[in-house]
Structure 1
């Protein structure tokens, strides 16, 4: 192996000469190295961004949107304090809280905006939602009975600010035999603003549970739904079905898989596509090594013949050209990994800088975040490096085997 490494090093030094034939072989070798470098760097950056989106989905979006909900379709859920206590005692449930959800309108002066009004119990909402982390002004856990907290985009569209009086138009449900009822108007003080980024900022309106009950004519023990948080969001649907059997009321069972599941599936699908596409790019770059080694074997037939007449074994010749190809892959993998890691660590700042430079953010208002997240997972780097070396090693076998078939008598005789 030491002899093969020495010969491989001398061959590389000889290929660096600037005559026409050696220069072309050297160019092909460098092109394959650059291809591997770019493939490895792109794969590391792409996987880091996908991991970042998945992390933000779990720790940002799913910490705010309902993980599990039980919604009464016909009549309100009665005696909610007892049922919340019952749900909190179930396995894998980390929190439970009541809510009243209704669609309505927010009005300030002459401006109107459709909103999703949620009446929440401030003392319990923090156990099922991290909305306080994204609220400026008064927190949801401090919400007063005559106060409202709105999303940032709603506030901007209404041209309002904290301290203004906001009117909520809440529809009334007409009973059988009644004509259409006019919506109730409730004037509340804007106490805080939700600034999370994404669609929630354009729809969320939080009011006190008691105010929602008074407006809709419910008593203090009635709500339209119960909300849970669980210890493992990826098993939320199974937990929702199991825990839902303990509720006596007729309810619809919903988990985040119904509301946000398509987003999670999209992330996983993109991860698979990135793996396939980029590994194909790396495979093409790796098999460029075949071209460079085949030409190098043909160019160095005389050297190989001389080595054989001096007693070099076929295994030595084979190892020499395998090392030649793996060296090209090694340089590409090392440089590509370094570049990929540096870009993955700084991709968020780079994206922000480019967005400010061009004055446009392609993520704004589209996804649940307005920045490009990144999470570097070392297992991804290991998988990338190992697979790349396997592809490179496979690419070197045929040219190296052809080198062992050189006949010294024919070559030297010519």
Structure 2
């Protein structure tokens, strides 16, 4: 499509000579603009993907894919219900538990805060890998009896306690005495500290043996819910229907993660799409810079175009010369931006640490962003979409100036020379 003559002329025009620096400076800004736009778009999309994936993994790792709840009362025959659910195809694990909000306080001093207490069996807690694989101190071997709890590292730091210390846990219901209602609770020994990387869990979750939780929250021989983990969270609705069919007329509710967190993940998806549209404008602005630089180049090269036309170059050849000039800027900027964006995403935690040490600030506060690290997940199909979009916009930006150059009348151009 592009002959040796056209490539030679386009290359000569791209190398600025004395007196032509201004056009090259504009072309350079266009290249930098496209590179920054492509890099920024790749980085932001990757961070949004990582943010969603990390949140989904942490939330589902802690809460399971489905929850089975009693209607108006706790689940009394929870082991029988769990046995039925285990036989449903697609179910990986079933965990009866007692879950309740509670007040938390260090046994000696410290402040008071709210939290979530979960009563589970030791075997079930070991199968909750997001907790069992992230024990930072102590051991789950001591997680038994009526005097043991596992708490998050953030909660331990907040209270200034560690392994062997005691924490007061207060149930939501008060206790009536001759002197009036008083909070009902007791102290438990901390036997393990976990850190899952999800700030809300690390600072407010407490795990205790199922029997102890049944006594504390007065749901003897019952469970408040049964958590179910499936083979594929994206196909959880199919398993939901199968579980409903297996349980038959039992008075239970089955709620999956898409129902519990639908609005949250929908908001993340909307934000991701809006960021894509906004950052695409950066590439669009850079494409307009290509238009302006090419128009100035055509104006500057009017005499050269006329000479080329008089020695036999056709209008198609002139158009291809300027197409190459503009496309070269777009392609170079896109490739540079893609390289910059991919390298940044692959080393984003290192770069974040370097920037924090340089500025002395916390750029990614886990209390605000829920996660303890800045995630980035490159999806190569999205990278290819960004590259394709940048190349198309760059090519479209060259069409009008190239068409104007091809329509240059050599007689009119040389009349005043």
Work out the CA distance in 1 between the residues paired with 2:172 and 2:401: 77
Aligned to 1:135: 135
Aligned to 2:114: 114
Aligned to 2:326: 325
Aligned to 2:27: 29
Work out whether residues 106 and 169 of structure 1, in 8 Å CA contact, stay in contact via their aligned partners in 2. Answer: yes
Work out the CA distance in 2 between the residues paired with 1:404 and 1:388: 25
The runs of 5 or more residues in structure 2 that have no matched partner are none
Work out the CA distance in 1 between the residues paired with 2:58 and 2:334: 34
Work out the CA distance in 2 between the residues paired with 1:239 and 1:370: 32
Work out the CA distance in 1 between the residues paired with 2:46 and 2:364: 19
Deviating more after overlay: 203-212 vs 83-92 = 83-92
Work out whether residues 29 and 288 of structure 1, in 8 Å CA contact, stay in contact via their aligned partners in 2. Answer: yes
Work out the CA distance in 1 between the residues paired with 2:126 and 2:80: 18
Task: Mark the CA change 1:244 to 1:131 in structure 2 (over 3 Å): closer, same or farther.
Answer: farther
Work out whether residues 138 and 163 of structure 2, in 8 Å CA contact, stay in contact via their aligned partners in 1. Answer: no
Task: Mark the CA change 1:367 to 1:61 in structure 2 (over 3 Å): closer, same or farther.
Answer: farther
Aligned to 2:229: 229
Offset at 1:147?
Answer: 0.7
Work out whether residues 76 and 224 of structure 1, in 8 Å CA contact, stay in contact via their aligned partners in 2. Answer: yes
Deviating more after overlay: 120-129 vs 278-287 = 120-129
Work out the CA distance in 2 between the residues paired with 1:241 and 1:138: 40
Q: How does 1:344-383 map to 2 (within 5 A)?
A: 344-357=345-358, 358-383=360-385
Work out whether residues 306 and 413 of structure 2, in 8 Å CA contact, stay in contact via their aligned partners in 1. Answer: yes
Aligned residues: 406
Q: How does 1:101-180 map to 2 (within 5 A)?
A: 101-107=99-105, 108-111=107-110, 112-127=112-127, 130-138=130-138, 143-145=143-145, 146-172=147-173
RMSD between superposed Cα atoms in Å: 2.5
Work out whether residues 113 and 154 of structure 1, in 8 Å CA contact, stay in contact via their aligned partners in 2. Answer: no
Aligned to 1:210: 211
Q: Secondary structure at the match of 1:207?
A: strand
Work out the CA distance in 2 between the residues paired with 1:377 and 1:72: 41
Work out the CA distance in 1 between the residues paired with 2:175 and 2:164: 33
The one-character-per-residue Cα deviations of 1:298-342 (angstroms, maximum 9, x if unpaired) are 221222122222221222111111001001112211221222122
Task: Mark the CA change 1:310 to 1:185 in structure 2 (over 3 Å): closer, same or farther.
Answer: same
Q: TM-score if structure 1 supplies the norm length?
A: 0.90
Offset at 1:400?
Answer: 0.8
Q: TM-score if structure 2 supplies the norm length?
A: 0.89
Task: Mark the CA change 1:359 to 1:309 in structure 2 (over 3 Å): closer, same or farther.
Answer: closer
Task: Mark the CA change 1:361 to 1:391 in structure 2 (over 3 Å): closer, same or farther.
Answer: closer
Deviating more after overlay: 336-345 vs 241-250 = 241-250
